[in-house]
Amino acid sequence: MEKNCLNYEKKLDGYQYICGIDEAGRGPLAGPVACAAVIMPKGQYIDGVDDSKKVPEQKREELFEIIIKQAIAYNVVMIDHKVIDEINILQATKKGMEQAAKGLKLVPDIILVDAVKGLNLPCRYESIIKGDALSYNIAAASILAKVTRDRYMREMDELYPQYGFKSSKGYPTKSHFEALKKWGICPIHRMSFLTHVDFNENVKIDSDI
């Protein structure tokens, strides 16, 4: 762990229960956003834990099982596409993060959140830019959120195999756009994300989703 940069927690010597919160799935055109909160044992580190985007899928699956076994407390919440369409993706992410934190079996001493601000949480929190690359607890939460959502999207792939959710996970990949043009939308697509999609010409989509 000495070579790992996930040491933000070292600044928090006075806190015993440090919670990390992160999300997965803000950018996809379909499916839910997943938000995870986790409190890992202080001073103990699982080898390989990192920002979920840097960890191969199979390794994430392995780390997921280790994290939930070693965690003092964890909770993962998914906010579905209908809510995302109703209140927008940022508000849906905030809702999921708040529910994840409030659903823990104990109240943390402090919460570290990846980038998001304006949250109603049960204790003091810090919003950290690129927190999943700086905080061990946020990185662990990122893995829980990513694996939970990916597993769900693989289930959706069985229902809607023509969209390739098993591989794209609903993200705006070329193959996903091609499927949308051929088959149209399915029940788990986020309608609010498709308002700038031109199915007849070049696909355009907001860059900040």
Domains and CATH numbers, the chain: 8-152 (3.30.420.10)
Q: What is the pLDDT of residue 206?
A: 36
Give the C-alpha separation, 157 to 126, whole Å: 36
Q: Could you tell me the two tokens for 83?
A: 């809510």
User: For 7, which DSSP code?
Assistant: B
Q: What is the pLDDT of residue 120?
A: 98
Alpha-carbon torsion, ordered 132, 138, 144, 150, to 10 deg:
-30
What is the separation, in whole angstroms, between the first and last Cα of the chain? 33
Q: What is the pLDDT of residue 199?
A: 60
Q: What is the pLDDT along the chain (209 residues), one digit of tens a residue?
A: 444 679 999 999 999 999 999 999 999 999 999 999 999 999 999 999 999 999 999 999 999 999 999 999 999 999 999 999 999 999 999 999 999 999 999 999 999 999 999 999 999 999 999 999 999 999 999 999 999 999 999 999 999 999 999 999 999 999 999 999 999 999 999 999 998 776 654 444 333 33
Give CA 15 to chain center in angstroms.
Answer: 25
Q: What are phi and psi of 66, to 5 degrees?
A: -70, -40
Give the C-alpha separation, 71 to 144, whole Å: 11
* Reported pTM: 0.92
Q: What is the pLDDT of residue 203?
A: 43
